[in-house]
Amino acid sequence: MIFDRIKPLDAILATAEKKSLYRSLGAFQLTMLGVGAVIGTGIFVLTAAAAQKAGPGMMFSFVIAGFVCAVAALCYSELASMVPVSGSAYTYTYAVMGELLAWMVGWALILEYAVAASAVCVGWSGYVMGLVENLTGFTLPGALSSGPAWGFAGGIPSVDFSHGVVNLPAIIVAAVVTWLLVIGTSESASVNAVLVAIKVTALTAFIVLSFPILKGENFSPLMPTGLLGHDGLGVVGAAATIFFAYVGFDAVSTAAEETKNPQRNVPIGLLGSLAICTVFYFLVAAGVVGTVGAQPVRDAAGAVLPPDGAGFAARCAELAALGQAPIVCSDEALAETLRIIGFPVIGNLVGLAASIALPSVILMM
């Protein structure tokens, strides 16, 4: 059958030789490419959602997710070394499992990056509108600044439009990036390195300012929802959410055909970028927890509310009206943390850095 066809490795390599791309990337450029793809909405935005699921235990969620990605990265490293061509998982699957599974993997990758790009757009919206509000006092109506909340009524999925209808800024940035891609754009390794430097500088500033004022009591209880939890809560449940923060690490393997000595440099780029990002994620999470606390929001009965439910949105709105909204309710957790601990200007700069750098992630996705 047609879908049983396997493209031999020799044929893949021969095709790559005929249409080979210029090999110019070294280990450093690949590592920066990986860091640029990984550090995005995950650390700037998902910190709050992870804290709602696991409390201070979200620090370990970042480590768990990073370990799982590292195992996958070892597989990518081996395959990219054997098949140093573009195409990533699609090409590898085509060579080993056949055309049908390769077709499925290809569409799964497209879905992964489409969802990731959408989520980064939402994260960018939160940071930009938070920055605008802090500087000018202007706020968009709730109906235009966030999407609807999802929940269950009698076991049936339901949609609640009371807190939002559509995220207009997210749509605008998606449209602008799409327009750039339509008219044609090219990214160089040097431009990517500059954007990575902006993001890393923002995270480093956050760590340096937050660590001197950590409070031990903010880490207790360490795992308020447990290790495994239930209904997607707990440290492992938060790790499943945080895994999204590492989406894009495989972008390094897609550049194998443009890499000098891919057998050596691709593994360095994959594992090096993951190691850098995991360390940053852990330290930033510790900074948030230790300075302002990160205990989950609970309902009247004391149950922890899922961060994507209508009940959570309503409870956060109530606390915000009282001026008591915790960091788990924030759309811009890092910038808001810095404002709370007395560094509003630096907080705005971190928000600005996220606003500048996150569109580059959307472009890569």
The domains of the chain are located at 2-364
Q: Is the confidence at residue 198, as pLDDT, over 70?
A: yes
Phi, psi of 82 (to 5 degrees): -75, -35
Task: List pLDDT tens digits, range 159-196.
Answer: 777 777 889 999 998 998 888 777 754 555 566 677 77
d(CA 270, CA 27) in angstroms, rounded, equals: 9
Angle at 331 between CA 326 and CA 335, to 5 degrees: 80
Q: 176-185, 221-230, 265-274, 310-319: which range is least confident on average?
A: 176-185
d(CA 48, CA 21) in angstroms, rounded, equals: 41
The CATH class of 2-364 is: mainly alpha
Angle at 84 between CA 80 and CA 86, to 5 degrees: 95
State the residue for tokens 């007395």.
342
- With beta carbons less than 8 A apart as the criterion, state whether 312 and 52 touch: yes
b/e for 213-249, b at 16 or more Cβ within 10 A?
eeeeebbeeebbbbeebeeebbbbbbbbbbbbbbbbb
Q: Give the pair of three-digit tokens for residue 34.
A: 């990986």
**Residue 108: CB atoms within 10 Å:** 12
Please give the pLDDT value at position 209: 93
Q: Give the pair of three-digit tokens for residue 194.
A: 């500059």
Mean pLDDT of 243-263: 76
Residue 160 burial class via C-beta count within 10 angstroms: exposed 0-12, middle 13-18, buried 19 and up: middle
Task: List pLDDT tens digits, range 206-233.
Answer: 999 999 999 989 898 888 888 887 777 8
Mean pLDDT of 303-331: 83
Torsion of CA 355, 360, 361, 365, to 10 degrees: 140
